[in-house]
Amino acid sequence: MRKFYVIGIGPGERDQMTIKAFKTLQNVDIIAGYKKYIELIRPFFPDKEYLQTGMTGEVERCRMALDKALEGKTVAMVSSGDPGIYGMSGLVLELARDMDIDVETIPGITAAASGGSLLGAPLMHDFAVISLSDRLTEWNVIKDRVKYASFGDFIIVLYNPRSKGRPTLLEEARKIMLKSKRGETPVGIVKNIGREGEEVILSTLEEMDINDIDMFTTVFIGNSQTYIHGDRMITPRGYLEKKGKKS
Ligand code: SAH
């Protein structure tokens, strides 16, 4: 059976890619992906054949890559972070459902993990990951998810925090969160993780500057216990408070 890999390359730098991802990429015939991700990895695999497309050509990109696999080439489709988290895994598996192709997914470090470690330890308790992109999801559905995750006191990690078409979505999301989270709730803004221009900004839900945030940013909003100490954002798991409580 033909082999097709869907590979997570992590946030961007080579050292945050798994050894399995790296070795597999070394061995495939063709690497396919969005051009921004291809640019990130091309220097490590300069002699490969590449198949690249723009951001919105996902279906076309996957079809082209699967066609190459059917022709007999070993193909890898790359996603930043983890391919199973707002990446290409789902679409590849759906398109390949009736094809004689064996799809293998190789995980990568998702932005919640790489960004979380730059901030400190914001995700030590239950958290919800929400994409603010309304390209494929109704804005009403997204708003409900923000509302209930916030009401449930989840730490919230926002991916795709700013849609090009509707830059005000984040402001709307902030207003929704302020209905059940305090204005002083710590916020961590992490930009260009593992890439040129990496930056960490600490703020609060009330004070965060929406202008600091673009599509290469992941935003962490704490729960009711999260605090900032120096330049670290910490959500206690409860170990130090456990004394005296029944287990
Ligand atoms: N599959 C990716 C997510 C793709 S959705 C993953 O697992 O990380 C794209 C969103 O992910 C971006 O808008 C941003 O919110 C986040 N993201 C991905 N890579 C990032 C990076 N290097 N730095 C900051 N945010 C990143």
Distance CA 24, CA 7 (A): 9
Class of domain 2-106: alpha beta
Give the CA dihedral 30, 31, 33, 37, nearest 10 degrees: -160
The stretch 64-71 carries a mean pLDDT of 95
Amino acid 125: pLDDT: 98
Going from N- to C-terminal start, the domains of the chain cover 2-106, 111-234
116 lines ligand 1 (CB under 6 A): no
Q: What is the CATH number of domain 111-234?
A: 3.30.950.10
Q: Which atom of ligand 1 is nearest to the CA of 108?
A: 7
Q: Which atom of ligand 1 is nearest to the CA of 218?
A: 15
Amino acid 57: pLDDT: 83
Q: Which residue has the tokens 């097709």?
A: 4
Q: Which of 228, 172, 163 lies closest to 200 in space, CA to CA?
A: 228
For 172-224, what is each residue's pLDDT tens digit? 999 999 999 999 999 999 999 999 999 999 999 999 999 989 999 999 999 99
Amino acid 123: pLDDT: 98
For 113-144, what is each residue's pLDDT tens digit? 999 999 999 999 999 999 999 999 999 999 99
Q: Whose CA is nearest to atom 13 of ligand 1?
A: 160
How far apart are the CA of 115 and the centre of ligand 1, in A? 9
